[in-house]
Amino acid sequence: MCKDRNSGGSLITVELPNVLCSYTDQNPSLVLDEPCNTVGDALAALGRKSPGALDRIMDEQGEVRRHVNLFVNGENVRFLGGLGTAVPNGATIYVLAAVSGG
């Protein structure tokens, strides 16, 4: 359970694409169980549950990979505050492959 430090609040859920489910025992939906106020916090928490999944989302310098998009409640965080984007109580973070491909 991801408790918001300020509100003592509710769950943060991370929805993963199928291709990353091999890192999470085929579970596409992870509920985080530690405090996280921002997208960066949530990804760090995800990394503690599934380091392999985090390595596919971010490189070892902590940069979100170029062709990966993160949405919080329907908004792409690239156009919000990036990893500093706040995650409200009960938020769902979607991890999606960008439109690019080959």
Partner 1 sequence: MAKEARRKTVKGARKSVAKGSRPPKTRRLTSSSSGNREVLLLVGTMKGAFVLRSDESRKKWKIEGPHFRGEAVYALLHDTRGDRARTFAATNSMHWGPTLRTSNDNGVTWSRPGPQTVRFPADSGRALAQIWQIASGRRTEPDVFYCGVEPAALFESRDGGESWQPNQGLLKHEHQPKWQPGGGGLCLHTIVLDPENPRRMLIAMSTGGVYRSEDGGNSWRARNSGVRAQFMPEEQRYPEFGQCVHKVVHHPSRPGRLFLQNHWGLYRSDDWGDNWVDIANGVPSDFGFAMQMHPHDPDTVYIVPIEADMFRATPEAKLRVYRTRNAGASWEPLTRGLPQRGAYENVLRDALAADSFDAAGIYFGTRSGKLYGSRDEGGTWTEIADALPPIVCVKTGTAGAA
Residues at the site binding partner 1, with contacts judged by CB under 8 A: 19-20, 22-23, 51-52, 55-57, 59-61, 63, 65, 67-68, 97-98, 100-102
Helix (H, G, I), strand (E, B) or coil at 6: coil
Closer residue to partner 1 in complex, CB, 4/95: 95
Residue 70 has, within 13 A of its CA and on its CB side, a CA count of: 29
The DSSP code for 99 is S
Tokens found for residue 16: 């993963």
Closer residue to partner 1 in complex, CB, 28/51: 51
Do the Cβ atoms of 33 and 3 come closer than 8 Å?
no
Shortest CB 8 distance to partner 1, Å: 32
Closer residue to partner 1 in complex, CB, 1/19: 19
